[in-house]
Structure 1
Amino acid sequence: MQVTETLNDGLKRGYTITLPAAELDAKVQQKLTEAQPDIEMKGFRKGKVPLSLLKRQFGPRLIGEAMQESIDGALSEHMEETGDRPASQPDVKMTNDDWKEGEDVVVSVSYEKLPDVPELDASSISLERMTVKADEAAVDDALSSLAETATDYEDKDGAAEEGDQVTIDFVGKVDGEAFEGGTAEDYPLVLGSNSFIPGFEDGLKGVKAGEEKAVEVSFPEEYQAAHLAGKAAVFDCTVKAVKKPKPAEIDDELAKRFGAEDLEGLKGQIRERLEAEYAQAARSVTKRTLLDRLDEAVSFELPPSLVDAEANQIAHQLYHEEHPDDHGHDHGEIETTEEHRKLAERRVKLGLLLADIGQKAEIKVTDQEMTQAVMNQARQYPGQERQFFEFVQQNPQMRQQIQAPLFEDKVIDHLFEQTKIEEKEVSKEELEKAVEALDEE
């Protein structure tokens, strides 16, 4: 087999691979010989079918297999010899479309190779990491919010108001007929919770215990149950109780409801949670600074195909953010701007750099880390966790989407260990401003 270079321009490479007819025929003969002992055919004993007959029957398929194996082998050998790593799947085409058996096979191969990434001395990079202590005011605010979730309700005299809880029996009807799922008994509903369709909770404001009221509403046009969407409905309600909220006391009893021994223990848990949240936010700020430093520190040629693909993806994403009502993909071609390309170049460069650093440091995502990440995402689909697991297992692209950020975070942590990081204590407000600045960039 002969490999001839036809293009060497930057990262672009092109080759012609010639597979001699004799070599192809020998490979086919080898396949036939290997298969012959197991083949039975009418008129012949098992393993005694002549090779000429086998070639006549199975030859065309085996020629195709032999071609593919030979070309794949030549490409693999070429990549190993040159050290090239294609940025995407190489483009492989037969140049002699009118090929006939007995002729040489000539194939053109073209691809963009991944660049050689320069070495990076991370120890020369200096970073600043914000630290925030959870003060008493922040702990008290979080404690008050927690207490709100533990609100109880007690009977009240008088009419129901916003925030009150009403206990009701109701029957929903459309065109005078009760519909499935529109009936309940002893249902506790907090007015203002927006847990029912628009208008229902407002219709119960002012009711008293023991009253009956017909609440007239209309289902939204995009209601999930298509047979009810846009329909006018009447809910016949019987009010069994009206209760006002009774805020939970912030004391040891509240702490025990949330698994702490006492109030001080609960405050300690809240403080730890807040400081963990602050640390995660601070890490995001430090990570952005690190990526900025890396972007400035290294420069190398980027594969145009990767930059083009990333720029197109950025433009497409921004289009849909600006046009949230356009859910389809029939919006025509979206032009990329210089801004899109600059951002794409940064992302591609940093992606290749982090991948190279991770590979040289032998950083890997463990099966346990991958399983945990899949479990975390599966929780977003209650009742369908098993189906989500199976989908991920059968979808390599989905696995890559989950694995990529895990790998990146491990590489970032690896770089943090090598850089010079100075801790700087700041206020919660200063950290919030720094995080807001990330979203604006």
Structure 2
Amino acid sequence: MQVSVENTTALERRLSITVPAERIETAVNKRLQQTAQKAKIAGFRPGKVPMSEIKRRFGADARQEAVGDVIQASFYEAVVEQKLNPAGSPSIEPKSLEAGKDLEYVAVFEVFPEFEVAGFDGIAIERLSAEVADSDLDNMLEILRKQNTRFEVVERAAQTEDQLNIDFVGKVDGEVFAGGSAKGTQLVLGSNRMIPGFEDGLVGAKAGEERVLNLTFPADYQNLDLAGKVAEFTVTVNSVSEPKLPELNEEFFAQFGIKETGIEGFRAEVRKNMERELRQAIKSKVKNQVMDGLLAANPIEVPKALLSNEVDRLRVQAVQHF
């Protein structure tokens, strides 16, 4: 096998590879023999089909598959031989695929950049110092209580932070639009889940009341078909519930796996967790300072393949999130 390497850019490599015809024919014959053992052709017993008939029926497919296997195997052999470190899959450009002749193709790909890390002495690191104060602990306990808020039905007008159970139908130009209707939706007033004006328009509403809200979708609304358009929402309030924060008692503590330790034990456990997260945050900030300093002292070119992979990863992550 003959291999030549051309550096087309700082990171791009162009491999020209020639594979002897004998290797191709050996791979093709191996494929045909495998096919002959399992081929079922009328008039012949399994495994007894003449090779001439096997070649006539399956020769083209066998050659195509064999060439693909040889290209894949020979590319990685060439990469190892030339001590290259590909950063992504190659782009294969066949030059000669004619039966009976040497296989010639070109593989274009990027490699990981090679560099010597320097500049450690010039990096300025600020090690942060902090501690969990009693006020921080009190704030965290309130956050935990709010995260476990329960709602109880009340017979009064809705207020901000109340949870409403609503049915609504939205129309644009008199027509119901896709995704603009729902039944039995739980909505906390002030959560900003809905478009501007929707939640404000329900403050003061009572269970059983119907309200009509004339609103305008934001110009930057994610659904471009609705962005900037005027809509009419007919909303029926089924119930109004007010928030109830849980008491700091044994039942509340048990939700976090803490039993029979009382408020002081619970505070101690929360403080321990906060201090662990604080240490991790400080460590992360120090690490980021080091990495930023090294990047400034060692500018490198990033392979396009890696950038493309990261874009794809973030796109998939965004889709899963939404």
TM-score of the superposed pair, with normalisation by structure 2: 0.64
Query: 1:14 is matched with which residue?
Result: 14
Partner of 1:136: 134
Q: Quote the Cα distance in structure 2 between the aligned partners of 1:102 and 1:223.
A: 58
Offset at 1:237? 7.5
- What residue is the counterpart of 1:355 in the other structure? none
User: CA–CA distance in 2 between the matches of 1:48 and 1:154?
Assistant: 80
Aligned position for 2:93? 93
In 2 relative to 1, CA 271–30 (structure 1 residues): closer, same or farther, beyond 3 Å?
closer
Deviation at 1:59, TM superposition (A): 0.9
CA distance 1:14–1:169, shift in 2 (3 Å): closer
- Residue 33 of structure 2 corresponds to which residue in structure 1? 33
Q: Percent identity?
A: 24
| Equivalences, count | 289
Offset from partner CA, 1:284-307 (integer Å, 9 cap, x none): 3112112024325656x6465458
Q: Is the 8 A contact 1:3 1:15 kept in 2?
A: no
User: 1:195–1:102: structure 2 CA closer, same or farther, 3 Å change rule?
Assistant: closer
Counterpart Cα distance in 1 of 2:91 and 2:167: 65
Who is 1:254 aligned against? 248
Q: Kindly state the Cα deviation for residue 60 of structure 1 after the two structures are TM-superposed.
A: 0.8
Which residue is equivalent to 1:105?
Answer: 103
* SS of the residue 1:258 aligns to: helix
Read off the aligned partner of 1:254 and give its amino acid letter.
Answer: L
* 1:21 aligned partner, one-letter code: A
Output the CA distance in 1 between the equivalents of 2:52 and 2:291. Answer: 64
CA distance in 2, matches of 1:58, 1:265: 76
Q: Does 1:217 align with 2:213?
A: yes
SS at match of 1:95: strand
1:119-268, aligned counterparts within 5 Å?
Answer: 128-146=126-144, 162=159, 197-204=198-205, 215-218=211-214, 230-233=231-234, 235=236, 254-259=248-253, 261-268=261-268
In 1, the alpha carbon distance for the partners of 2:151 and 2:71 equals 76
Once the 2 structures are TM-superposed, how far is the Cα of residue 74 of structure 1 from its aligned partner? Answer: 1.6
RMSD, aligned α-carbons: 5.1
Q: How far off is 1:67 after superposition?
A: 1.4
CA displacement at 1:51 relative to structure 2: 1.5
Correspondence 1:307-318 to 2 at 5 A: 309=307
8 Å CA contact retained: 1:165, 1:190? yes
Which residue does the alignment assign to 1:336? none
What secondary structure sits across from 1:107 in the alignment?
strand
Looking at secondary structure, tell me which structure has more helix per residue.
1
| Distance verdict in 2 for CA 1:223–1:236, change over 3 Å | farther
Structure 1: distance between partners of 2:188 and 2:112: 60
Note the residue ranges of structure 1 that are not aligned, 5 or more in a row. Answer: 318-328, 330-373, 382-441
Contact 1:214–1:237 under 8 Å retained in 2: no
Q: Which has the higher strand share?
A: 2
Deviation at 1:93, TM superposition (A): 1.1
SS in structure 2 opposite 1:47? coil
| 8 A contact 2:162–2:189 mirrored in 1 | yes
TM-score (norm 1): 0.49
Note closer, same or farther for the CA distance 1:42–1:121 as it changes in structure 2 (3 Å cut): same
- Higher mean Cα deviation, 124-133 or 260-269? 124-133
**Alpha-carbon separation, structure 2, partners of 1:12 and 1:150:** 55
SS for the counterpart of 1:230 is strand
- Kept after mapping to 1: 8 A contact 2:3/2:78: no
- 1:50 — aligned with what? 50
Q: 1:201 to 1:280 in 2, by over 3 A?
A: farther
For the residues of structure 2 that align with 1:106 and 1:154, how far apart are their CA atoms? 76
Deviation for aligned residue 1:78: 1.6
Q: Do 1:87 and 1:303's aligned partners in 2 also have CA atoms closer than 8 Å?
A: no
Report how far residue 62 of structure 1 moved: 1.1
Letter paired with 1:62: A
3-state SS of the aligned residue for 1:254? Answer: coil
The Cα of 1:162 is off from its aligned counterpart by 4.2
Structure 2 gaps, min length 5: 172-180
8 Å CA contact 1:255–1:265 kept in 2: the answer is no
